[in-house]
Structure 1
Amino acid sequence: MSSLLKIGILGAARIAPKAVCDPARVVSGVTVAGLAARNKDRAQAFAAKHGVETVYPSYEALITSPEIDLVYNPLPINLHAEWSIRALEAGKHVLCEKPFAMNLDEAKAMQAAADRSGKRLIEAFHYRYHPAFATCMDWLQDGRIGEVTRIDADFSVEIRDSDDEIRQLPETGGGAMMDLGCYPLSWALNLLGPDLKVVDAKAQTTKRGVDETLEARLQYGNAWVHLTTNMAKDTAFNAEMTIAGTDGLIHFRNPLAPHNGGSVSLRRADGSEVDQFRPVSGISTYTWQLAAIVDALNAGQPLPTEGQVILDQQERLDTIYEAAGLRHLRYR
């Protein structure tokens, strides 16, 4: 890789500016070098607005261009596997948006393509790179709340119900657990590790058949994990996690985006607060993520959102949907 990491974006997705374009303005050693979208006018307008250097005539042209080092894939979930695999086979690193794939079979095929190509395949769980989440992990690893006994985690917010909203459509991988609940699941997996087991789940579905609300119970040794998510109309934004232990409790407000007023606090068993971390700057989780990717690619070091952890996450998503009677949404 050259000293400058050149990123190409597949599709003019709404997430792309804050996930890649804006961070690239402040992270050294990286540039957004290209964009391809099915609608050429939209691609040109996006590129002009966000300072993208080149608009490519097709996804294929972008992923095969020698001017691109890493492909950012924010396409609908049902297109993640196809275009991530094709980009890897074209010799590009890939940063793929969450949730990673429609199902575990697709995720395994994507990882196999990365292994064959020798290129990096990274899932865009941006929160994992923020100092607030690192602080929470450190507190647990240091035993500051003793043995974990319970985790309650929720991410809920309204997702508008319309025919052009891919998060509401079964064929594009829609559903509350896929788009929102994947975060609380990832939080728990990162905190507890791969021995986290799905026990049961239940869901309420929309008229289109995707999960509108979903609750899942998981177990890690003697600890219970309760995950909830809700995308119904008029649902207020909520992202939070409480981790109870034998000696205390951690409350994490907005683990998703701590830079937006989030905080993580540690209390003793008697309720007295002993520590708190509040972000001291507005540096976004996406900026932390991009900086970590640039550093890891330059140094050849692994990242916490690639490799086996991706498959662990996807396997539990599949199991949760199966437990809720919705396996058909993941395997069509």
Structure 2
Amino acid sequence: MTTKIRWGILSTAKIGVQKVIPAIQKGNFCRVEAIASRKISRANEVADALGIAKRYASYEELLSDPDIDAIYNPLPNHLHVYWTMKALEAGKHVLCEKPIGMNADEAKALVEAAKKYPGLKVMEAFMYRFHPQWEKTRELVQSGKIGQVSLVQSFFSYYNVDPENIRNKADIGGGALMDIGCYCVSFPRFIFDEEPVKVAGQMDFDPVMKTDRLSSGMLQFSAGKSATFTCSTQLMPFQQANIFGDHGHIQIEIPVNAPPNEPSQITLRTREKTESFVFDAVDQYTLQADAFAHAILRNEEVPTPLSDAVGNMTAIDGIVASAKNNQWIVL
């Protein structure tokens, strides 16, 4: 019986090379077997550096390899759905980087395509959900430690004004909302375990690159629950998430990019006391890859189904429409 999933990597994208591939290689149920690039010299360079045996000069060649079980897709946003579908057609499971696509319609098309392959797993790669700090946060919320929870607030920023960077190319899904705002939209949906009923958004665009460089959103959920966020690609790097209840508050210091080689911390403040929870250093990308591989090996549902990806993209589409039309959008 197979005990490790054999992975193939589509492209030599920076996030894959620097973070995800090394993390997958540390997984208990994972083995990275191959990588593909449109330039074989680049594929060879990365494969040599990371100890990957097979390297291909095209994505199609990798997908045709019968010894590959699963694909990690870190391609630019506009290629997520296309190549995920191609991987499914080739009989491969797929872990696809966030956001799953360019809009909710693409996400829904992927859901329909995946139905044709009931034996294959597809999951959007929101790695933060696998970190113990978020698992503990959700546990604290669900156990009532901060009372009736009514607000999730988050902020995420970095500084990048390179016009050649894919995050600054509007036509392929660049911009703050798609790149990092998708996390801020995902947080309250994960905590409340429901979809927003209406959203509002504001977006400021770079005059040259045409990408949103500063975006804010409000999400209204049922029974008075709401979320607010701001994200930016042209501010001092910073991130934080806060969850408020009528009895307490949880602060997550580094909600997205928790360092893999340092402890992480969340702080619980209630009317009675302040308590910190410190978590040993873990690589959330490794935890994500192992969880996905484990679902394949046991033929179980993946931790984050594609329906969740559709929900996230639906909210993002609504925020974009709200900013354009200057009104609340009912979802």
TM normalised by structure 2 equals 0.92
CA positional deviation for 1:227: 1.1
* Equivalent residue number for residue 255 of structure 2: 255
Q: CA separation in 2, counterparts of 1:293 and 1:47? A: 23
CA positional deviation for 1:67: 1.3
Residue ranges of structure 2 left out of the alignment (5+ in a row): 327-331
Give me the CA root mean square deviation.
1.7
User: What letter corresponds to residue 20 of structure 1 in structure 2?
Assistant: V
Alignment partner of 2:181: what SS?
helix
* More divergent stretch after superposition (23-32 vs 152-161): 23-32
User: What letter corresponds to residue 283 of structure 1 in structure 2?
Assistant: V
Residue by residue, what CA displacement relative to the aligned partner does 1:153-195 show, whole Å, maximum 9, x if unpaired?
A: 1111112332x21111111100101001111111111001223
Alignment partner of 1:143: what SS?
coil
User: What letter corresponds to residue 152 of structure 1 in structure 2?
Assistant: Q
CA positional deviation for 1:198: 3.4
User: What letter corresponds to residue 227 of structure 1 in structure 2?
Assistant: F
Provide closer, same or farther for how the CA distance between residues 247 and 31 of structure 1 changes in structure 2, counting only shifts above 3 A. Answer: same
Residue by residue, what CA displacement relative to the aligned partner does 1:213-272 show, whole Å, maximum 9, x if unpaired?
A: 00001112212211110111xx222121111111111111111133455321111136x3
CA positional deviation for 1:143: 0.9
Residues 24 and 285 in structure 2, CA contact (< 8 A), matched pair in contact too: no
Residues 89 and 113 in structure 1, CA contact (< 8 A), matched pair in contact too: no
Counterparts of 1:207-226 in structure 2, within 5 Å, are: 207=207, 208-220=209-221, 221-226=223-228
Counterparts of 1:308-327 in structure 2, within 5 Å, are: 308-325=307-324
TM normalised by structure 1 equals 0.92
Q: CA separation in 2, counterparts of 1:144 and 1:242? A: 14
CA positional deviation for 1:57: 2.6
Residues 7 and 70 in structure 2, CA contact (< 8 A), matched pair in contact too: yes
Alignment partner of 1:237: what SS?
strand
Q: Is residue 289 of structure 2 the alignment partner of residue 290 of structure 1?
A: yes
* Equivalent residue number for residue 199 of structure 1: 199
Residue ranges of structure 1 left out of the alignment (5+ in a row): 328-332
Q: CA separation in 2, counterparts of 1:286 and 1:137? A: 19
Q: CA separation in 2, counterparts of 1:244 and 1:76? A: 35
CA positional deviation for 1:28: 2.2
Q: Is residue 77 of structure 2 the alignment partner of residue 115 of structure 1?
A: no
Q: CA separation in 1, counterparts of 2:169 and 2:320? A: 16
Residue by residue, what CA displacement relative to the aligned partner does 1:98-127 show, whole Å, maximum 9, x if unpaired?
A: 111001111111122222112111111111
Give % identity. Answer: 32
* Equivalent residue number for residue 14 of structure 1: 14
Alignment partner of 2:116: what SS?
helix
CA positional deviation for 1:209: 1.6
* Equivalent residue number for residue 246 of structure 1: 246
The aligned length equals: 321
Residue by residue, what CA displacement relative to the aligned partner does 1:17-57 show, whole Å, maximum 9, x if unpaired?
A: 34432123322232111111112211110111111110113
User: What letter corresponds to residue 204 of structure 1 in structure 2?
Assistant: D
CA positional deviation for 1:286: 0.5
User: What letter corresponds to residue 210 of structure 2 in structure 1?
Assistant: G
